[in-house]
Amino acid sequence: MGSTPEGTSPAHRYPEVTDGRKGDLYDAACPTRLLLDRVGSKWTVMVVLLLAESEEIRFGALKRRMPGVSQKMLTQTLRRLEADGLAARRVESTRPPAVHYSLTALGRTLVEPVRALRNWAETNMGSVERARSVASTLDRRPDA
């Protein structure tokens, strides 16, 4: 992959977000944007909140608690959380294998912000829907 400047992530070559330094959301080249895309998705929010409820949870139990998620999407979400160091996977060598997931220490730091986002969304859902309804009505005006 070639050499990278000291303190730079070889994957992203963005020194501002490695070694404990902060990224810059407003910099188009900063991977912070990608991270926010991942941690802000509805499936990620649901998985993090469900993993926060127990020490460990099996894949099937997660899927049952998340109506509407496909097996493929849940698998992708869990793999991304693992790759980002937010979730851990443990496989029991049984027939069939039992796969368990849990939050890592880093993943647990995401729980409170995600809970706040969920609470905000559930509290303000009606206001947003009303605003959309008004905007939709305005968009249909003949002079618009």
> Residue 10: pLDDT band by 50, 70, 90 thresholds?
very low
Residue 50 lies inside a defined structural domain of this protein: yes
- d(CA 110, CA 128) in angstroms, rounded, equals 25
Which of 70, 71, 72, 67 has the alpha carbon at shortest distance from 50?
Answer: 67
Classified as helix, coil or strand, 57 is strand
Q: Is 18 left (phi over 0), alpha (psi -120 to 50) or beta?
A: beta
- d(CA 103, CA 143) in angstroms, rounded, equals 53
Residue 2 lies inside a defined structural domain of this protein: no
In the chain, the number of structural domains is: 1
Contact 79/73 with Cβ under 8 angstroms? no
Residue 63 lies inside a defined structural domain of this protein: yes
What's at 111, amino acid-wise?
V
User: pTM, whole model, 2 decimals?
Assistant: 0.78
- d(CA 87, CA 134) in angstroms, rounded, equals 41
134 lies in which domain range?
A: 42-138
The residue ranking higher by pLDDT, 142 or 30, is 30
Residue 96 lies inside a defined structural domain of this protein: yes
Name beta bridge partners: 81.
Answer: none
Residue 47 lies inside a defined structural domain of this protein: yes
The CATH number linked to 75 is 1.10.10.10
For the record, the structure tokens of 31 come out as 């991977």
Residue 37 lies inside a defined structural domain of this protein: no
| CA–CA–CA angle 33, 34, 38 (5° rounding) | 115
The residue ranking higher by pLDDT, 108 or 29, is 108
Residue 55 lies inside a defined structural domain of this protein: yes
Residue 11 lies inside a defined structural domain of this protein: no
Residues 44-99 have pLDDT tens digits of 999 999 999 999 999 999 999 999 999 999 999 999 999 999 999 999 999 999 99
